[in-house]
Amino acid sequence: MQTAIDTTTMMEELNTPYEVPQEAIAFYRENGYVKLKNVLSPEAIEYYGNIITDLVFKLNKLTKPMEERTTYEKAFLQIMNLWREDETAKEFVFSKRLAQIAADLMEVEGVRIYHDQALYKEPSGGITPWHADQFYWPLASPKTVTVWIPLQATPMEMGPLAFAEKSQAVEIGRNLEISDESEAIMQQSLTQFNLQESPFDLGEVSYHAGWLFHRAGPNVSTKPRKVMTVIYMDKDQRVMQPKNSYQVADWQTWLASAPVGSSPNSPLNPLLYSR
């Protein structure tokens, strides 16, 4: 059982600045993603990971057998905005350290949260097809980034995230949802880009831009691949007219239907870090 002193230590870690090397910022600017080691301690991952895992299985509604699921459903259990469900989960999601890294990489003055989501790929879970996240977001600026935080060491057999380097600049595929179609089309379209696919050590996280194409392999291990993510946007981001039904749903759900052209600054999108 965690003591009060342990809990205080965990919170201090989450809010202690992380020095992002200039070469990491340059790498992110060019390639659209970066992996950073030792961002979180094993103790913090275990403490908050247990709470997040309990919430995922408490809130999960996807109970169909794997063979009856769609490709999207086979990819992961997806639970969003855990920060609104539990105060300790909120501590993790609102980490100033994680938000500061996002601001540093995007080279902006501050960041707001778009939403968080847990992504748990079960044993025998399928691939996550090639896609770009910002297809789903009615946000005008490309200044968006997702931190992908494995809650365990993630070897290749668990399906770590893979990135098509520099693909954040291409227009092809920006109208594709996560699907078998996106996997097939982008598998061919992304051959010109270097594929970065490697395991994640415990405490290692990645940040990827909203328009960067990425995927993940299947989980062929005997354990769930547990991952927590937080999506950040430039504090000066603006809401744009939704371009598809998914963006309409996101506009209503995550942006409180903020007027087009306005800053998404409702209680759903608090400022997490500002210089």
Q: Does any domain span residue 265?
A: no
Q: Which residue has the tokens 């992304």?
A: 190
Q: Which two tokens stand for residue 250?
A: 């996101």
Cβ burial of 202 (10 Å; 0-12, 13-18, 19+) is middle
Q: Does any domain span residue 150?
A: yes
Q: Which two tokens stand for residue 265?
A: 């600054």
Q: Does any domain span residue 37?
A: yes
User: What integer pLDDT is reported at residue 60 of this predicted model?
Assistant: 79
Q: Does any domain span residue 266?
A: no
| Contact call for residues 246 and 136 (beta carbons, < 8 A) | yes
User: What integer pLDDT is reported at residue 173 of this predicted model?
Assistant: 83
- Cβ contacts of residue 251 below 8 Å, gap of 6+? 138, 239, 242, 257, 258
Q: Does any domain span residue 140?
A: yes
The residues facing 206 across adjacent strands are 35, 148
pTM of the model: 0.93
User: What integer pLDDT is reported at residue 188 of this predicted model?
Assistant: 86
Count how many domains the chain has: 1
- Rounded to an integer, what distance in angstroms lies between the CA atom of residue 233 and that of residue 70? 30
Q: Which domain holds residue 226?
A: 4-253
Q: Which two tokens stand for residue 242?
A: 């939704």
Q: Does any domain span residue 264?
A: no
Torsion from C-alpha of 137, 197, 99, 117, nearest 10 degrees: 50
User: What integer pLDDT is reported at residue 13 of this predicted model?
Assistant: 96
Q: Which two tokens stand for residue 115?
A: 């939403």
- Cβ contacts of residue 10 below 8 Å, gap of 6+? 2, 43, 44, 47, 48, 91
- Rounded to an integer, what distance in angstroms lies between the CA atom of residue 157 and that of residue 199? 9
User: What integer pLDDT is reported at residue 75 of this predicted model?
Assistant: 63
Helix, strand or coil, per DSSP, at residue 45:
helix
CATH code of the domain containing 105: 2.60.120.620
Q: Does any domain span residue 170?
A: yes
Mapping DSSP onto H, E and C, the string for 8-27 reads HHHHHHHHCCCCCCHHHHHH
Q: Does any domain span residue 178?
A: yes
User: The dihedral of CA 62, 131, 229, 274: what is its sign?
Assistant: negative
User: What integer pLDDT is reported at residue 221 of this predicted model?
Assistant: 96
- Cβ contacts of residue 37 below 8 Å, gap of 6+? 201, 203, 204
Low-confidence ranges of the chain (pLDDT < 50): 1-5
